[in-house]
Amino acid sequence: MPHLLHIDSSFQTDASVTRGLTARARERWLAAHPEGTVTYRDLGAEPIPHIDTASGLARMVPADVHTPEQAASWALTVALIDEVKAADTIILGLPLYNFGPPSSIKAWVDHLIAPGLSVNHDTHEGLLAGRDLIVLASRGGGYGAGTPREGWDHAEPWLPHGLSLTGLEPRFITAELQLAPVTPAMRDLIPMAEESLAAAQRAVDALWVPAEATA
């Protein structure tokens, strides 16, 4: 049975562009997989703990010598990796915060990198490959080639590197200039922002063919 893992990370609710895109993607996925099931994780509302000095060694020492803090952190790592392993498709909302990813996504990625669970001990091969990871990203400004802040987006370029050890390979659909409607200095860019969002929505709609269209 097809299974979707849906992850949001924005701290915003109704105003969130990425939440709107992931909800749209989930709706389209379910239309194409009416028998499918979904697991939902909201990193914005319920962030997972960052790896710290009390828990970090859980990934470097045998489980039978774990401290209580390490055991709890390792159990969370196992649960997060099991969520990914159970999924055929993953949709991840990725807003750009202060030119980087939300720290909650960094924590999620850190938990996913675990020798023996997501990375082969001996070959270093990623064990989570073969899943479709669709990242629905939003940027308040524009960071493309030739723009004043070209290269300032450190979220989208980082994520493939962060996940590379696991074998997951993200593909991105991105809406940019999304702060134009609420930023007076960007008012002239509103039409471009609207078209960027519309293009992202069209790309989401094209990801899967509804089941009734193939009947």
- Identify any residues that bridge with 178 across adjacent strands, giving them in sequence order: none
Question: How far is the C-alpha of 4 from the C-alpha of 89, rounded, in Å?
Answer: 5
Question: What is the predicted pLDDT for the residue at 46?
Answer: 96
Question: How far is the C-alpha of 80 from the C-alpha of 120, rounded, in Å?
Answer: 17
Question: What is the predicted pLDDT for the residue at 73?
Answer: 96
Write down how long the chain is.
215
In this prediction, the residues of the chain whose per-residue pLDDT falls under 70 are: 214-215
Range of the domain at 108: 3-214
CATH number reported for the structural domain that contains residue 199 in this entry: 3.40.50.360
Question: How far is the C-alpha of 74 from the C-alpha of 76, rounded, in Å?
Answer: 5
Count of the separate structural domains present in the chain: 1
Question: What is the predicted pLDDT for the residue at 183?
Answer: 95
Question: How far is the C-alpha of 96 from the C-alpha of 104, rounded, in Å?
Answer: 12
Sheet harboring 132-138: ordered strands across? 37-42, 3-8, 89-95, 132-138, 170-175
pLDDT tens profile 75-122:
999 999 999 999 999 999 999 999 999 999 999 999 999 999 999 989
